[in-house]
Amino acid sequence: MRIDRILGIISIVVIALAIFFLLYPSGRRATGGGFLGTLFSNIHLGLDIKGGSILEFSMRTEELGEVDENELANQVIAVLRNRLDAANFTEAHIKKVFAGNRVRIRIEIPEVSDPAKAERLIGRKGRLYFAEVLDSRIQKEKPKDIPLIPGRSRKDLVWMKNVSYEKRYGKPEWVLVDENIRVGGRIMKLDGTKIRDAKASVDPAEGYVINLSFNNEGKKIFADITRALVNKRLAIILDDVVLVAPVVREPIVGGGARITGRFKMEEAQEIATLIKSGNLPVDLVKVEEQTVGPLLGKDIIRQSLIAGLIGLIMVLIYMILYYRWMGVVADIALLYNTFLLLGVLAATKAILTLPGIAGIILTIGTTVDGNIIIFERIKEEMKLGKTTYNSIVGGFTKATSTIVDANLTTIIAGLALYILGKGAIKGFATTLIIGVIGSMFTVLVVSRVLLDTTHNLVKNKYQVETPEEVAK
């Protein structure tokens, strides 16, 4: 099989996958009517385009004594930023607002029309820790008595509900836990600060589960605890709820743990996000919530889209007028890359805002620029008296390194923006990186396949091809 045929098949498969993710029925409401509404129904849009939820929280500092609320708010914002980024709400805005002499936290989250969903992610303190199970009872109401257990202080013992037991057996179980775990003659504690990563995954037997991995310190503590609690129960607790309380069958020394509990997909991802992002240094109390429409207004959005379409049409016409058939190929490549970029955004559930649209427009420029570099190189090859087909081969061969180098530098800059930036900067960097990678693929693969298979349509005024060469 010829290489151009292989590349052609790859090009078709890639664009087919992109269109599938872009157009498959996802249950999301279209952002508008007609074809464009269907096209964008699987793409998450930002607060400036589609609106979303605005939540405002006060910080409960009474138990902390005298604190610098401004510095405390900075710590809260850092944790919330990590949570929102981990949940793919990279376009969310978090800022401090002042009510009298008190500091509040305001969060604006795009495309979240249900504030309760956002509140679950933001408002929970997210403290995860492990505790030894000392007793358990199956009953509806929370037990009121704390039994006397030798060697234990009653003030350290707490009854908590085991949610995984109720999901599995339909009966409420209350477990008596102590986070001061006895390991020989020592007392050890293990909390979320020792966890390196938390991810939701699917287990064929258990459904959605949460996999934990510990840092070096946490790995050693967890191994010591599981050695001491063989054939006893160890509870994994998030805030004031027992997620799961399994029996330790053997010491776990690999540095990992798994939380099971018949979670739903969204629930498992939410818990993993809370664990991974760290604990809030203070409780948050919601003081205001509202759902808003597009911040920029429909007129501005429509005018921006119209301006972008006009610019795109002008580029398409210019390429055809100047490069003839090669310009047609460039236009096809440009549209190919646009659909590819939108398909990737839909597949990854990235949030698209106006800065992200700016990244898409920049991608259009890189796609056209790459094709122009190759076309000019092809024309130089033609001037040397080569046939059209050989000029195309030579043009791509000699221009490839230039295009790769130019795009790699842009990708490196985009990665720096993504790693160091926050919020809207991340959104711009995301579309830029995806678009530039797609641009390289489109220019070097899709355009190559199209020109190779239609080289007889390319006008070469410097060389008259023989029938054998045309047939090639």
Over its length of 472 residues, how does the chain's per-residue pLDDT go in tens digits?
477 788 888 999 999 998 888 887 655 554 454 455 555 667 777 766 777 788 889 988 877 777 888 888 887 887 888 777 766 676 678 889 888 888 999 988 776 666 676 676 676 666 789 999 999 999 999 998 999 998 898 899 999 999 888 887 889 999 999 999 999 889 999 988 788 888 889 988 888 888 889 989 999 999 999 999 999 999 988 878 888 888 898 898 888 888 877 778 877 887 777 777 666 778 888 888 877 666 555 666 677 777 778 888 888 899 999 888 999 999 999 889 888 988 888 887 777 777 777 777 777 777 888 899 999 999 999 988 888 889 999 999 999 998 999 889 989 998 998 888 766 687 788 888 888 898 899 999 999 999 988 888 888 776 655 555 555 5
3-state secondary structure 124-186: CCCCEEEEEEEEEEECCCCCCCCCCCCCCCHHHCEEEEEHHHHHHHCCCEEEEEECCEEECCE
Residues 18 and 344: beta-carbon distance below 8 Å: yes
C-beta of residue 441 within 8 angstroms of C-beta of residue 339? no
What is the per-residue pLDDT for 308? 73
| DSSP H or E run through 271 | helix 265-277
First to last CA, the chain: 15
- How many Å apart are CA 387 and CA 364, to the nearest integer? 30
The confidence score (pLDDT) of residue 172 equals 92
Residue with token string 């910080």 = 59
pLDDT of residue 39: 58
Query: Which is nearest to 124 in space by CA: 308, 270, 328?
Result: 270
Cα 103 to Cα 418: distance, rounded to the nearest angstrom: 29
Partners of 178 in the β-ladder: 132
Question: In this predicted structure, what is the pLDDT of residue 166?
Answer: 84
Backbone angles phi, psi at 181, to 5 degrees: -85, 125
Give pLDDT, residue 38: 56
The enclosing H or E element of 189 equals none
Contact 239, 127 (CB under 8 A): yes
Reference 441, options 333, 349, 357; nearest CA is 333
Letter string b/e over residues 142-172, b meaning 16 or more CB atoms within 10 A of that residue's CB: eeeeeeeeeebeeeebebbebbbbeeeeeeb
Q: Which of 318, 404, 410, 309 is nearest to 362 (CA)?
A: 410
Residue 155: closest CA among 173, 122, 179:
179
Residue type at position 145: D
Please tell me the distance from the alpha carbon of residue 136 to that of residue 324, in angstroms, as a whole number. Answer: 79
- At residue 30, the pLDDT reads 47
Q: What does pTM read for this prediction?
A: 0.56
